[in-house]
Amino acid sequence: METPENGSPSSLRKEENTTGNSNTEAEEASCSSEPVETKEKVVEKGEEKLSLITWNVDGLDGEQQPERARGLCSCLSKYSPDVVLLQEVVQPYVRFLHNRLAADYTFIEGGKLGYFTGMMLKQSRVTLLRSKIIPYQTSHMMRNLLVAQVVFKGQELWLMTSHLESCKNNAEERMKQLRWVMKMMSKAPDNVTVLFGGDTNLRDAEVAQVGLPSCVCDVWEQLNQPEHCRFTWDTVANTNKDMRFKSRFRFDRVYLRRATKDGVPWLEPESMALVGLEKLKCGRYTSDHWGIHCMFSLSK
C-alpha cells in the first residue's frame, strides 16, 4: 500500500496495527475446500522457460480481505508461475495461501509480525537450496531484502524480493536500499543468474540518481518499455484506494543480472504483462497494485 504524496511512516505503522483482521481467517475453512482450477493455464510454459509473478498484495487493507485473498489464489492458480514474489503479506494471507496452494509451492516468509515479503517456489520446477533475510539497518518501516538460492533446470539462481521504503519524503532511505540491492546483485558469483522483483516505490528520477550497474538490467526497459505495463500503481484505473490526488507510477520493478561465466545458460526476458486488472465480484481489485507477470527463456 502506497500513499505517494502525503503518506508518512507513522501512518504506515498505524495501518500495520490492523493486520490482525480476522475476516480472512474466518472464511478460510469454507474457502479451503473449494477446488483450485489448474488444468487450463494462461501461458503454456516450455520446459526451458521460467515464469514469475511479483505483486504487492496490500494485505494491510482489511476491506473485502477474504474475497481479495481468493482473487490472489485464483490468479496464481490460473498462471501457475514458477516463482511468486509477494510484498505486504500478513499472516492471514499466509494461512490462506498455505491452505490452497501448499501442495504445489514451497513458501518462504520474510518476516512474521506486521506486514512482510514472501516467496513461493513451484516444487515441481524450482528447488530451494537456502534462504536468508537481510535487514535494511536504517529502515523505519521494518523493510528488508529476502534472498533465496534455488536451482531451475540445473541452473543456480538467486531470487530476491523487497518492499523498499514508502512515501515521497523517504527518497534518501529508498535510494540507499536500492544501492544495497544492486550491490548484492552485482557481487553474486559469475555462474549465478540473479532475479529481483518487488515493490520498489521508486520514482524514475531516484533510479537515475542511483544508477544501475552495467551488469543489471531493468526487464521492462529490456523489453522496449511496453506501455501496457508501465504503471503498476495507478489510482486512475485502480479504485481500491480513495486518493485525493490521482497518480500513476512504475513502483513495481523486475531487475535481472545474467550469469557471466562461459557455458552457463543466460536467462532472457521474453514478455511482461500486468495481472489483477479485473474487478472481483465484491467490486474491488485483488490489490491496489497491479501484479507483474514475466516470462524468461534459458538460452545457451
Q: Which has the higher per-residue pLDDT, 4 or 293?
A: 293
pTM equals: 0.87
Chain segment 13-26, per-residue pLDDT in tens: 333 333 334 444 44
What cell numbers appear for 114 in the block?
A: 506486521
As a whole number, mean pLDDT of residues 10-15 equals 33
CB 298 within 8 A of CB 258: no
Q: Which fold would CATH assign to domain 24-29+44-299? A: Deoxyribonuclease I; Chain A (3.60.10)
Instruction: State the pLDDT at residue 145.
Output: 98
Distance from the Cα of residue 13 to its chain's centroid:
21
* DSSP state letters, 130-166: EEEEEE-TT-SS--EEEEEEEEETTEEEEEEEEBPPP
CA of residue 127 relative to chain centroid, distance: 19
Mean pLDDT of the chain: 88
Mean pLDDT score, 225-252: 96
Least Cα distance to 50 among 220, 257, 296 occurs for 296
Which pLDDT band holds residue 27 (cuts at 50, 70, 90)?
A: very low
| Choice between 47 and 62, residue whose per-residue pLDDT is larger | 62
Average pLDDT score over residue span 135-162: 97
Owner of C-alpha cell 497491479:
290
Residue 179 CA to residue 209 CA, distance in Å, equals 10
Amino acid at 34: E
User: Does residue 35 have a pLDDT over 90?
Assistant: no
Kindly list the catalytic residues. Answer: 199
Cell readout for 247 is: 497518480
* Alpha helices for the chain (secondary structure H): 9-16, 23-32, 65-79, 91-101, 171-186, 204-210, 219-222
User: Positive or negative, the Cα torsion across 36, 38, 40, 43?
Assistant: positive
pLDDT band for 5, please (50, 70, 90 cuts). Answer: very low
**Closest to 51 measured CA to CA, from 229, 233, 292:** 292
Q: How confident is the model at residue 154 (pLDDT cuts 50, 70, 90)?
A: very high
- pLDDT tens track for 197-237: 999 999 999 999 999 999 999 999 999 999 999 999 999 99
Q: Where are the domains of the chain?
A: 24-29+44-299
Residue 263 grid coordinates: 557455458
Please write down the HEC assignment for all residues of 69-92.
HHHHHHHHHHHCCCEEEEEEECHH
